[in-house]
Amino acid sequence: MTAVDSQRVLVTAGAGGIGRSIAMAFASAGARVHACDIDANALDELRTQAPGITTSVCDIADRGAVQRMVQEATDALGGLDVLVNNAGIAGPTASVADMDPDAWEAVLRINLTGTFTVTQAAIPHLKKSAAGSIVVMSSLAGRFGYPNRSPYATTKWGLIGFTKTLARELGEFGIRVNAILPGAVDGPRLRQVFEGRASVSGRSMAQEEAAALANQSIKRFVDPADIAALVVFLASGAGRSISGQMIPIDGDSQAAS
Ligand SMILES: NC(=O)c1ccc[n+]([C@@H]2O[C@H](COP(=O)([O-])OP(=O)(O)OC[C@H]3O[C@@H](n4cnc5c(N)ncnc54)[C@H](O)[C@@H]3O)[C@@H](O)[C@H]2O)c1
């Protein structure tokens, strides 16, 4: 079985949010971690907090920057066992009828094409691993329709097709590929969403939160540490028979809210 403390891990968008929790969870388990992010200051802060983690500034929508970043990552790590394709942006809120086509394309460039570019550059390195693993960050929005968030939902559904195809292509090389689909994640961003909704609806923050939780069996939002633990498990030897799967982590949500 592959021990996490022998793994070499690349996390995209690893300086903030969920990616940071994932990078820290692998580092805490003893893995060697390289994080890339578009935000250089956040990467500096990450290195201060976790000096063992190496970093690259990279916009995953920039193909040349991705080639350089994957080279830096594999040089720093001495190879690659685990790729966590975490980077993704929320994109605009508008109906399809009113959608700005440039805003639509910007989301596809990062969420879909960026994930493709990073993965393509990483595959030759993962093929050299004894137990390669790729985790793709989809979303609850990759399982349901999501009114006024069409580019986001479209890319998160697209990543499921990407995951299932990659799993078929890479299985013979011992590389497993799985997608995870988090629901609403607890934290300041979610609070801002509720504030925004409350200011439009005239309802209180608590009412907006209750309305969102009404869609879930488990009445709390997802802790980023739980997502990180799932990614560490999937990439570990304990997950060695799991590939081509889409795994929700959302308190049994019945809608994208
Ligand atoms: N937060 C949620 O509720 C939630 C739910 C389901 C899925 N997700 C997915 O999880 C992933 C991480 O979400 P998050 O909420 O932590 O995001 P976030 O908005 O907190 O951003 C995380 C990091 O992404 C970096 N980033 C942004 N654009 C980038 C780019 N072009 N190249 C490289 N780095 C870039 C940012 O600098 C930041 O450090 C995304 O794919 C998102 O769609 C999030």
pLDDT range class, residue 117, cuts 50, 70, 90: very high
| Whether 115 contacts 87, CB under 8 Å | yes
Q: Best of 12, 20, 38, 226 to mutate for ligand 1, by most ligand atoms within 8 A of CB?
A: 38
Nearest CA to ligand 1 atom 32: 59
Strand partners, 7: none
Question: Using CA positions, which residue lies closest to atom 40 of ligand 1?
Answer: 88
What is the mean pLDDT of the segment spanning 47-61? 97
Q: What are phi and psi of 238, to 5 degrees?
A: -65, -20
What pLDDT does residue 197 have?
84
Q: How far is the CA of 111 from the centre of ligand 1 (A)?
A: 10
Mean pLDDT along residues 24-52: 98
Task: Give the residue-averaged pLDDT of 231-241.
Answer: 98
Token readout for 106 is 């910007």
The arithmetic mean of pLDDT across residues 69-82, rounded, is 98
- Could you identify the atom of ligand 1 that is nearest to the CA of residue 61? 31
Distance 27 CA to ligand 1 centre (A): 19
Reply yes or no on whether the pLDDT at 64 is more than 80. yes
| Ligand 1 atom closest to Cα of residue 152 | 43
3-30: pLDDT as tens digits:
888 999 999 999 999 999 999 999 999 9
- Which residues surround ligand 1 with Cβ inside 6 Å? 13, 15-19, 37-39, 42, 58-61, 86-89, 110, 137, 139, 182, 184-185, 189
From ligand 1's centre to the CA of 19, what distance in Å? Answer: 7
**Ligand 1 center to residue 209 CA distance, Å?**
21
**Which atom of ligand 1 is found nearest the CA of 190?**
3
Q: For the chain, what percent of residues have pLDDT higher than 90?
A: 91
- Look at the alpha carbons of 140, 142, 143, 146 in this order and tell me if their dihedral is positive or negative: positive
pLDDT at 127 over 90: yes
Protein residue closest via CA to atom 18 of ligand 1: 17
Q: What residue ranges define each of the domains in the chain, with the CATH number in brackets? A: 4-183+224-246 (3.40.50.720), 185-221 (no CATH)
Nearest CA to ligand 1 atom 42: 88
Q: Which residue CA neighbors atom 17 of ligand 1 most closely?
A: 17
Of 54-58, 133-137, 184-188, 191-195, give the lowest mean pLDDT range: 191-195
pLDDT of 1 above 70 = no
- Nearest-10 Cα torsion for 243, 249, 250, 253: 30
Is the overall model pTM greater than 0.75, yes or no?
yes
- CA gap 133, 126 in Å, rounded: 8
Which residues does the annotation mark as catalytic?
A: 152
Higher pLDDT, 191 or 236: 236
Q: Ligand 1 centre and the CA of 172: distance in Å?
A: 31
Six-digit token string for 96: 């399809």
Nearest to 222 by CA among 254, 248, 192: 248
pLDDT at 253: 97
Closest by Cα among 88, 85, 90, 61 to 73:
85
Residue 88 predicted with pLDDT over 90: yes
Q: Which atom of ligand 1 is nearest to the CA of 39?
A: 37
pLDDT exceeding 70 applies to what percent of the chain?
A: 99
Q: Over the range 193-225, which residues count as b (16 or more CB within 10 Å of their CB) and which as e?
A: bbeebbeeeeeeeeebbeebbebbeeeebbebe
What are 178-229's pLDDT values in tens digits? 999 999 999 888 988 888 888 888 999 999 999 999 999 999 999 999 999 9
